[in-house]
Amino acid sequence: MDAWSVYLIRTAGGELYTGITTDVERRLEAHRAGCGAKYLRGRGPLALVYRRKLGERGLALSVERGLKRRTKAEKEALVDSAPSRRKLLRILAIEPPS
């Protein structure tokens, strides 16, 4: 069973895209090749600015949803501080699985 990760990608226009995957590098290459999310097509170059391994898929989905609800300024602060898994879950008020 592969561990799920959350990631943030910065577009050429400065937008931040949030996603989850079990292989961040493969997913980033797919986005760059135009095979990933439709939103990112034509918005390159794309830069991976944050990633955090989370574990199970359900937790990754919760974190992704929490990040997508944040303002751009809040996401930028998160990118700047690069919080650990524990701190990220605390910031988003998500209970880690037992």
- 48-84 pLDDT, tens digit per residue, is 999 999 999 999 999 999 999 999 999 999 999 999 9
DSSP state of 20: E
Structural tokens at position 86? 């524990």
Question: How many whole angstroms separate alpha carbon 46 and alpha carbon 9?
Answer: 6
CATH 3.40.1440.10 fits 4-91, yes or no: yes
SS3 label, residue 9:
strand
In the chain, % of residues over pLDDT 90: 89
Distance separating the N- and C-terminal Cα atoms of the chain = 17
Plot region of 10 (φ>0 → left; ψ -120 to 50 → alpha; else → beta): beta
Among 6-15, 29-38, 46-55, 56-65, where is mean pLDDT lowest? 29-38
Domain ranges of the chain: 4-91
